[in-house]
Structure 1
Amino acid sequence: MFIAEKLKIISEAYPERVITSFNGKELSYGEFYRKAENLAGHFQDLGYVKDDILAFCLMNSDSFLIGYYACQIGGFTALPINTKLTAPEMNYILAHSEAKGLIYDERLASVFDLLEGKLPALQHKMVTNREFEAIIDGERRHAERREALDADTAVVFYTSGTTGRPKGVMLTNRNVAAIAEIWSESMEMDQDDRMHIVAPLFHCAASHVFSIPVIYQGGMVIIEEAFSPEATIRTMEQQRATIFFGVPAMYSILLNTPLLEKAELSNLRLLCYGAAPMPYELVKKVKALFPDVNVQNLYGQTENSPGATTLKDQHALSKIGSVGEPLPQTEVQVMDEFGKPLPTGQVGEIAVKGPQVMKGYLKNEEETARTIKDGWMYSGDLGRFDEDGLLYIVDRKKDMIIRGGENVYPVEVEEVLYAIREVLEAAVVGIPHEIYGEVAKAYIVLKEGNKLTEQAVIDFCKSQLASFKIPAAIEFLDTLPRNASGKVLKTILRDPVNI
C-alpha cells in the first residue's frame, strides 16, 4: 500500500491520534492529512499535473512532512533540497531537475533571491510562515485522486555530491512503500512508537528509515530542527521518545554531556546509528549507560531508499564493525569485478537487490546503467561476509589507500584511533607520496580539555597496526567537515587548502 493511502486510512480511523510534535505543537492524523490535502489541492488548482516536480528547501519541521505527503496525495514528485547548499548548488539541482514549484523557509530568502530569473522551468515559489501556512490552514480543499502506479517517481533525492556533481536518485511509489514496510518490520515499530528525529529530514535516512515507517504504522514523529545535546536530551525526556537515531558523532557528544546520565528515559527501547562506523568503545559506553535499551546499526544508500542490512542488538558488541544481515525482502551479495558472487571472507563490491532499489538517476542513463546491472544495485562499497552471514564494510572504493602496492582501509585505522582515550573523532585519508604513491594521513578531534601529541598517536598505532598502515601525518582539528547527513567529507580532507 502506498504511503498516501496508508496515511488516509489511519487519519480516518484514528483522526485524534498524534502524528507529529514540533516546538511544543502537536498535530493529529486528521489535522495533518487535511493540511497535506489542502497543499496538494492548491498545486492542482495551479495546474500542476502528475509527475511535475515540487521542490522544498525546509528546515526540520512538521511542514516538511506535510509537504512530502502533499506530493504523494497530489501525484507530484517531491524534491527535498539540502538547506545548507549555496545558491549555485541550489541552482544546479533546481535547473537539472526542472522543478516547477518551490517551497522554502523564509530564512533562506537571500539564497533564493540570487536565483531570480535563472530557472525558466520554475513557475511558483512559496515561502513558509506566510503563503504556506495560509494554504494548509485555509478552507478545506479536496485534491483530485490521480492514478498512482508502482513505477511512478515519488521522490528525487540528490546525492550529497562528495565527488563531482550530485546525482538525482529517483525513488518510486513502490520503493517508498517497500522501505517503509522493511524498516518498520526490522525495528518492530508500532502505533505506540514515538520516533525522535534530529537528523535533517531532507536526507533520505531521516525521512525513509524513521519518519515515514513509523507513520506507516500509525506512530508519532518528534521533530527537532537540529541536534543540540542538552536540548535533544530534554526533548527525548519530555516527549517520552521510544526510538532515537543519531550518527556516531552525536552519540559521542551525548555521552560527554552530563545531563544524559540524569535524564529519565525509561520509555526508550531502541537507539539507532548509521551513516558512519560506530567505534567499539562508543557502542560499549552506550550499552553500559542504557543496559535495557536495544541498539541497532543501519546500512544503506540513497540508491536503495536507503536500506540494505542491519546489525541488531544481539550482535552489537560481538560483531563490532559489522553492518549485519540483509533486511527483509532484500538480497545482498559481495561481487567480484565480473559481477560474480565471492565466497565468505573475500572482499568485493557490495551489491543490493530488492523492491527498494531505485528506478535510476534522473536524466543520467549512463550512470544508471553503471550502477544497476541485472537488477543488482552496485553500492561502490567494498565489503565481505563472515562465516555467520554478517556483512562488514571494508571501505568505500574511492577511499581505499594504496601504499606501495599495499591496500590500506581507512576504517581499520580509524578504529584504532578511536581506541585512544583522548580522541573524540578521527578520519583517515590518503595523501600523495613521492615514493609510495599514497600514504595515510589522520585528522583528529580531541575531547574537550584533553591534550595529545602526534608522537603519542603514532606510538599507539605502532602497537596496533602493521607498519604500512600507520599514518604518515597527523593533524589536529576542532571539528571534522561533514555533510548534512553526518558523513565526513573526505574530499575536503584530501585537499588541505579547503580546511
Structure 2
Amino acid sequence: MNIWETILKSAEKYPDKIMVMAAGEAFRYSEMLEYSKQLALELSKTGIKRGSRVIVYLNDSPDYIAALYAVNMAGMVFVPLSPQVKDAKLCDILRHSGAEAVITSSELAEVVAAISPEEVPDVKHITVLGSEGDLPGWNWPCCRAAGFVYKKGRPVILEEADWQEDEMTAIFYLWDKNGMPKGIMLSSKNIMTNMDAIIEYLKMTYRDNLLVLKSMSLVGTVTGEILASAAVGATIAILGGITHAGIILKAIQDYKITGFFAMPLMLHQIMEYKRREKYSTDSLRYIQTGAAKLLKSDVEQLMEMYKGVALYYIYGLSEASPRVLHLKPDEMLIKAGSVGRPVKNCSVELLDADKKPCVPGSIGELYVQGPNVMLGYYKNAGLSEEAITPYGLKTGDLAYMDDEGYFYLAGRADNMINQGGFHVYPAEIEKAIRMLDRVSEVNVEGVPDELLGQKIKASVTPKPGETLTPGEIYDFCYATMESSKIPKIIEVL
C-alpha cells in the first residue's frame, strides 16, 4: 500500500481539476503531483536513507500536502508538527524522533534555527520552502540548510518508494501525562484502511469540495480530509487556522463547500452568528462533528437550519488512525448522545475490570480491534504493550452499549474508584442517581479512606424549587444499586 498512489491515480484521471485552494492560490492535481515529485527528488539528493524521519513543520497550506506526499514518495517517515509546537517542545520531538531532516518555511525557519544544534545532533538537512539555494546565515555545524521553490511545468523522473503495508510510514506526536513526547507509529495499512472507511460512510466523490478547519498536523485531517479527498479526486479548501464563523460561512459560499468537520463549539458559533443568513450554504452535503458533547437540542437546531444536510457524529483517537465509531444522519435524533457504531474495518469491545465482556447497559472500557490500530509508540515498548493488549487497543475511554449495539461514552478509565477492592465507575453511579426525579446534577468521586483505600462520594444538586436529603438519596441507591456501588458519603448542594 502506497499513500502516494492516492494523488498519482487522481492526477492521471483528473489532471486539470483543482486539488487544493488556499489564500488566493490553487493547485491542480497535475501541479500538486509535480510539486511533490520535485520535493521528493530534492530529499533523495540529501543522502538521507529510506526510513529516516522527516519533520514537516509548516503552516496549514498546500505546501503541507506537497511535503506529505514528497516524504512518502522518497521512502521516508512523515512526522507532521503544528507551528504551535515551539522552543523546548519542538526540541523534544526533534530529539525523540531522531529526525534527520526538517521541511519548514521561510516564515518558520527562525523558530527551528533558535534551537541549539547540540540538542538535536541527528538533524542533517533543513529544507526551507519559499527560499532558493543554500542559506548562508544558518549556523548549525554538520547540517545543511537549503531553500526549495516549486517550478511549475518542470516534470521530473522519480522512482517512488514501494512501501510494505505494515511498515512504519508516519509518526504523529501527542504528549503523555508527564508532558513528554509520545509518538504514534502508523503504517500505510493503518491509514489507508481507515481512509477507505471514511470515504465509504461519507459517500465521497470527485464532486466534493471539503473545507479543512482542523490542523493539518492531525491524523484525522491527514486521513479523513487530505488523503480521502485525493483518493476520490475531490477538492479541499484550507483556511489556515481561521475559526471565525463569518469567514467559515463565506468560505462555504465562495468555494461551494460540500462537507466539513467542526467541533460542537464551532457549530454553536455558526448557529448563533447573527449574519448567518447573508451567506449561501446550498452546496453543503454533510457536516461532521465530535470530540465533545452535542445536545439533542443542538442536533434539532442544526437539522432545522440546514435541511437536507447529512449530520454525522464521530468518535476516534489518533492511535486508531483515527476513526472508530460514527453515528449516521438518520440516527442522530433517535440515538441522541450516542457515538454510534464501528466504521468499516474496525470492531469494538466493551470489557469490565476483569476483562470480561459487558452486557448492554453496563459500563466498561472500550477496546478497538482492526487494521487501523497503530503499530505502537515510537521508542516506548513498555507503553506500547500497555496500549496494545490481547483484547485490542486500550482506549482508556469508558462507555456502555445499548441493546442495538450503539455506544455511549461515560468518562475515562482512570476515574475508576477502588472501594475496598470493588472497582466502581463514577459515571455508572451518576447515571443511576440521575434517575431520581428531583435530581439536576450529580458528581461522583473517590475520596481517600484509610480502611477501604477510597470511599465513594456523591455530590447532588436538586432541580430548581426541589429539595432532597442525603437519606432520601441513600434509600434510592439502596433500592436500585449493588451494595458495593452505594456512596459512603452523600452531599446535597
TM-score normalised by L of structure 2:
0.82
Aligned to 1:121: 122
Equivalent position SS for 1:3: coil
Change (3 A) 1:231 1:160: farther
Distance in 1, matches of 2:469 and 2:395, equals 29
Answer yes or no: is the 8 Å Cα contact 1:3–1:216 preserved in 2. Answer: no
Distance in 2, matches of 1:162 and 1:261, equals 44
Q: How do 1:349-428 residues align onto structure 2 when only pairs under 5 Å count?
A: 349-374=365-390, 376-399=392-415, 407-409=425-427
Answer yes or no: is the 8 Å Cα contact 1:268–1:293 preserved in 2. Answer: yes
Aligned to 1:27: 27
Aligned to 1:55: 55
Equivalent position SS for 1:10: helix
Deviation (angstroms), 1:402 = 8.6
Which of the residues 134, 137, 149 maps onto 2:164? 149
Shifted more, 316-325 versus 391-400: the winner is 391-400
Q: How do 1:180-219 residues align onto structure 2 when only pairs under 5 Å count?
A: 180-219=195-234
- Cα displacement string for residues 111-150 of structure 1 (whole angstroms, at most 9, x for unaligned residues): 3233131200011123333259844327543333333111
Deviation (angstroms), 1:62 = 0.9
Change (3 A) 1:115 1:41: same
Aligned to 1:92: 92
Matched to 2:195, the amino acid is A
- Cα displacement string for residues 173-220 of structure 1 (whole angstroms, at most 9, x for unaligned residues): 111111111110111111111111111111111221222112111111
Answer yes or no: is the 8 Å Cα contact 2:9–2:231 preserved in 1. Answer: no
Answer yes or no: is the 8 Å Cα contact 2:415–2:425 preserved in 1. Answer: no
Answer yes or no: is the 8 Å Cα contact 2:462–2:468 preserved in 1. Answer: no
Aligned to 2:479: none
Aligned to 2:317: 301
Equivalent position SS for 1:127: strand
Change (3 A) 1:431 1:345: closer
Answer yes or no: is the 8 Å Cα contact 1:402–1:439 preserved in 2. Answer: no
Which of the residues 245, 254, 267 maps onto 1:229? 245
Q: How do 1:241-320 residues align onto structure 2 when only pairs under 5 Å count?
A: 241-320=257-336
- Cα displacement string for residues 434-454 of structure 1 (whole angstroms, at most 9, x for unaligned residues): 99979799xxxxxxxxxxxxx
Equivalent position SS for 2:339: strand
Distance in 2, matches of 1:268 and 1:195, equals 10
Shifted more, 275-284 versus 172-181: the winner is 275-284
Change (3 A) 1:113 1:260: same
Aligned to 1:40: 40
Answer yes or no: is the 8 Å Cα contact 1:34–1:140 preserved in 2. Answer: yes
Aligned to 1:485: none
Aligned to 1:450: none
Answer yes or no: is the 8 Å Cα contact 1:169–1:360 preserved in 2. Answer: yes
Shifted more, 12-21 versus 429-438: the winner is 429-438
Q: Which has the larger radius of gyration?
A: 2
Distance in 1, matches of 2:80 and 2:93, equals 10
Distance in 2, matches of 1:172 and 1:264, equals 40
Deviation (angstroms), 1:165 = 1.9
Answer yes or no: is the 8 Å Cα contact 1:44–1:143 preserved in 2. Answer: no
Answer yes or no: is the 8 Å Cα contact 1:299–1:309 preserved in 2. Answer: yes
Deviation (angstroms), 1:20 = 0.5
Change (3 A) 1:433 1:292: farther
Distance in 1, matches of 2:262 and 2:98, equals 33
Matched to 1:79, the amino acid is V
Shifted more, 373-382 versus 127-136: the winner is 127-136
Change (3 A) 1:464 1:359: farther
Distance in 2, matches of 1:223 and 1:377, equals 32
What are the ranges of 5 or more consecutive residues in structure 1 without an aligned counterpart? 417-427, 442-456, 471-499
Distance in 2, matches of 1:467 and 1:254, equals 43
Distance in 2, matches of 1:159 and 1:34, equals 32
Aligned to 2:478: none
Change (3 A) 1:143 1:400: farther
Distance in 1, matches of 2:306 and 2:96, equals 46
Distance in 2, matches of 1:412 and 1:250, equals 28
Matched to 1:192, the amino acid is R
Q: How do 1:145-184 residues align onto structure 2 when only pairs under 5 Å count?
A: 145-161=160-176, 164-184=179-199
Deviation (angstroms), 1:319 = 1.1
Shifted more, 87-96 versus 113-122: the winner is 113-122
Shifted more, 273-282 versus 151-160: the winner is 273-282
Distance in 1, matches of 2:417 and 2:298, equals 25
Shifted more, 151-160 versus 397-406: the winner is 397-406
Matched to 1:100, the amino acid is E
Deviation (angstroms), 1:160 = 4.4
Distance in 1, matches of 2:261 and 2:468, equals 32
Deviation (angstroms), 1:407 = 4.5
Q: How do 1:98-113 residues align onto structure 2 when only pairs under 5 Å count?
A: 98-113=98-113
- Cα displacement string for residues 399-440 of structure 1 (whole angstroms, at most 9, x for unaligned residues): 568999975339979xx9xxxxxxxxxxx9979899997979
Distance in 2, matches of 1:325 and 1:461, equals 36
Identity over aligned pairs, percent: 24
Shifted more, 213-222 versus 402-411: the winner is 402-411
* CA-based RMSD: 3.2
Change (3 A) 1:192 1:41: same
Distance in 2, matches of 1:63 and 1:12, equals 21
